[in-house]
Amino acid sequence: MHRRAVLALLAVPALLAAATTAGCAGGDGSGSEPPTDAQALVLRLSELPGMLPLGGVAAIPPRFSLFGDGRLISVPTGSPGGWPQLREDRVPPDGVRDLFRHAVRLPKQAAAGGPDEPVVRVVVGSTDGQRTVTLPRADPAAARLRAALARYADGHSAPYQPTAVAIVATPSDSPDPARPWPLPALAGEALGGTSAGATCLVLRGADLDTVRRTVATADTGTHFSAGGRLWQVAPRPLLPDEADCTDL
């Protein structure tokens, strides 16, 4: 097993325990309302495997992200490797309120599972702030919320076109052949937590287009050479409420 993958795995229980009890001053959100601003997060559901990939949590796009204007950005089931193909749907105002009420009723705490147990992490945004809850993947409340979100993602989806993408890069010592990185630099700012050992570089505009063409034909095992080192990369589209690497 890759050493960084082992370290990321060992860090998961502490991260998830902290996330389960994290919250805003507004408590569990009862009595508050979902935000209505187009950039404001109402609800985010991330599915985290017990064995995190290289790059940790920062490398995993959230399964569902719902915003105040009703935009629902999701990762389709069975998405291939290479460049992430996210999609965008619309949830009507009544649906946004129903999903919000469903999310604020999630339990504040859940029994801790084993270190390799898949989990669901839910971030709920309200007029009082945000709170985060982490539940086992098999938790019935988490399953119901995931199913409710998925029903809205079954409509006439359009591709989500991010204006910025974070490249989460992890150094590698693999002997496999590597492709040249198409830009002058790959290493970005150092990440922490389960992503410790990886770096993050945000790309926009022409640089983003250049890297998209290169990575689109790669997979999770592809290596790139840059700065005299080998790297594995994970493109992570930034969502409307995310500005830079610190938001991952």
Boundaries of every domain in the chain:
3-159, 164-247
Please give the angle made by the CA atoms of 181, 183 and 188, to the nearest 5 degrees. 90
SS3 annotation, 136-183: ECCCHHHHHHHHHHHHHCCCCCEECCCCEEEEEEEEECCCCCEEECCC
Instruction: Tell me the whole-structure pTM to 2 decimals.
Output: 0.84
**Residue 38: predicted pLDDT:** 93
Report the chain (248 residues): mean pLDDT per 10 consecutive residues.
42 42 43 90 96 93 97 85 89 97 86 75 93 92 96 87 96 91 95 96 97 90 93 96 96
> Pairing between strand 41-48 and 129-136?
unpaired
11: three-class secondary structure by DSSP: helix
Residue that the structure tokens 């790309």 belong to:
203
**Residue 35: predicted pLDDT:** 94
Q: How many other C-beta atoms are found inside a 10 Å radius of the C-beta of residue 194? A: 26
**Residue 81: predicted pLDDT:** 67
**Residue 181: predicted pLDDT:** 96
